[in-house]
Amino acid sequence: MPARTTIAHRVFVTRPIAEAAIRRLAESARVDLWDDDAPPPPADLAEHLRPCDAVLAMVSDRFDAATIAGAPRLGVISNLAVGVDNIDLAAATRAHVAVGHTPGVLAETTADLAFALMMAVARRVAEADRFVRAGRWRMWTPRLMLGRDVWGATLGIVGWGAIGQAVARRASGFGMRVIYASRETPMAGRRARASATPARAATNASAAGAERVALAQLFAESDFISLNLPLTAETRGMIGRTQIAAMKRGAILVNTARGAIVDQSALERALRTGHLGGAGLDVTATEPIDPRDPILELPNVVITPHIGSASHATRLKMAELAVDNILDVFAGRIPRRCANPAVKLRVARRK
Ligand code: GLV
């Protein structure tokens, strides 16, 4: 990427992203691009961050307090993701570093993948594909690869943000009964923080034909459970042994949120004993998952490599929004999509 030496702001982009977005960034800043799909090792990240005013970062880059403190000029971390659990938000706010993210533009695409995983597990799509490729398909037989109906089943959505609501809209087209638990509903036995827009959430729920229930009821009644909530201190480990035991026998769990929300060993045990009927996971406890992880032995599990928002069109929108978030800070404004909107900006306008 040719550097524009007349432009004072410097931005580190930690992975190759849509070229159109990088070109637009380069009109306003000197861009240092990490031209590799593998993340910069911590020492390289620190070195590249040191002279930079902004970083366009990925969920697989970690920004802990020490990394932020080692970047004295940094005014904005712009994450190419809606989730910001890779960033120490409190440390960023203390250091006057705004944290931008990309909600909204990825909701429909991520909901598509949640639905794809649900269908793939219920109808054994990945297993059937392996069966055919292994040359085991002899003839049509009435008991071959019997699965579960998605249509007419009950779907429980945990989290009622844009992605959860987009999953609900798809489910209503499949004639599913949709129930959901959100932050206004008692979760893990206690009442959690109220949503900023409960009235809008209720309107959207009635439009999608969804009913808000307590988490315990959602576990007891759902044939499919879709996790669509952010990873926070409150939700880390929220789906543990007790919660899984409370799920309906044979239920299918789909996680397109974050692996750390679920106790993966407890999930694996429940799948082995048959308490749960299957799982569709776009995210895992550690990423990438160890290829020897015992959960990979299970035929009723479909795992994708954290590709919820991975369509060409959506990744372009995310890149453009991530650039907008940086340019906002360069113009002295809070990013239009900001995860710590109370931050006092550090970056002053430069000439
Ligand atoms: C992806 O995981 C995201 O948070 O957008």
Query: Which residue has a Cα nearest atom 3 of ligand 1?
Result: 81
Q: Say if ligand 1 is within 6 A of residue 279 CB.
A: no
Per-residue model confidence (pLDDT) at position 7: 62
CA 206 to each of CA 79, 115, 157, 163, 211: distance values in angstroms, whole numbers, following the listed order: 32, 20, 14, 16, 7
pLDDT at 4 over 50: no
Per-residue model confidence (pLDDT) at position 198: 63
Residues 12-30 have pLDDT tens digits of: 999 999 999 999 999 999 9
**Which pair of structure tokens corresponds to residue 10?**
């410097």
Q: Which amino acid is at 21?
A: A
**Which pair of structure tokens corresponds to residue 135?**
């040359």
For 56, counting Cβ atoms within 10 Å of its Cβ (0-12 exposed, 13-18 middle, 19+ buried), the class is buried
- Coil, strand or helix: which one is 108? helix
**Which pair of structure tokens corresponds to residue 97?**
């570093």
Q: Which atom of ligand 1 is nearest to the CA of 84?
A: 4
Strand order in the sheet with 154-158: 210-212, 177-181, 154-158, 224-227, 251-255, 276-281, 301-303
Active-site residue flag, 306: yes
- Homologous superfamily, domain 9-104+312-330: NAD(P)-binding Rossmann-like Domain (3.40.50.720)
The alpha carbon of 349 and the centre of ligand 1 are apart by a number of angstroms equal to 30
The 10 Å Cβ neighbour count of residue 266 is 18
Residues 100-149 have pLDDT tens digits of: 999 999 999 999 999 999 999 999 999 999 999 999 999 999 999 999 99
Catalytic residue among 9, 101, 183, 258: 258
Rounded-to-integer distance, Cα 284 and Cα 290, Å: 10
With bands split at pLDDT 50, 70 and 90, how would you rate the model's confidence at 185?
Answer: very low
pLDDT at 45 over 80: yes
Per-residue model confidence (pLDDT) at position 116: 98
Q: Please write down the HEC assignment for all residues of 24-64.
A: HHHCCCEEEECCCCCCCCHHHHHHHHCCCCEEEECCCCCEC
Mean pLDDT of the chain: 93
With bands split at pLDDT 50, 70 and 90, how would you rate the model's confidence at 200?
Answer: confident
Active-site residue flag, 108: no
Kind of pairing, strands 210-212 and 251-255? unpaired
CATH tag, 107-303 = 3.40.50.720
Query: Which residue has a Cα nearest atom 1 of ligand 1?
Result: 81
Q: Which atom of ligand 1 is nearest to the CA of 80?
A: 5
Do 9-104+312-330 and 107-303 agree at the fold level?
Answer: yes
Is residue 225 a contact partner of residue 275, using CB atoms and an 8 Å limit?
no
Per-residue model confidence (pLDDT) at position 351: 45
pLDDT at 349 over 90: no
Q: Say if ligand 1 is within 6 A of residue 230 CB.
A: no
Residues 170-180 have pLDDT tens digits of: 999 999 999 99
Which ranges of the chain does DSSP label H, i.e. alpha helix?
Answer: 19-26, 42-49, 65-69, 89-94, 107-122, 125-133, 162-173, 198-207, 215-221, 241-245, 264-273, 312-330
Per-residue model confidence (pLDDT) at position 214: 98
The domain ranges of the chain are 9-104+312-330, 107-303
Is residue 110 a contact partner of residue 166, using CB atoms and an 8 Å limit?
yes
pLDDT at 166 over 60: yes
Rounded-to-integer distance, Cα 193 and Cα 186, Å: 10
pLDDT at 326 over 50: yes
Strand order in the sheet with 54-57: 30-33, 10-13, 54-57, 76-79, 98-100
Per-residue model confidence (pLDDT) at position 205: 81
The alpha carbon of 59 and the centre of ligand 1 are apart by a number of angstroms equal to 7
Rounded-to-integer distance, Cα 174 and Cα 104, Å: 23
Per-residue model confidence (pLDDT) at position 204: 77
Per-residue model confidence (pLDDT) at position 197: 59
pLDDT at 235 over 80: yes
Active-site residue flag, 258: yes
| pTM exceeding the 0.85 threshold for the entire prediction | yes
Per-residue model confidence (pLDDT) at position 187: 40
Rounded-to-integer distance, Cα 181 and Cα 226, Å: 11
pLDDT at 192 over 90: no
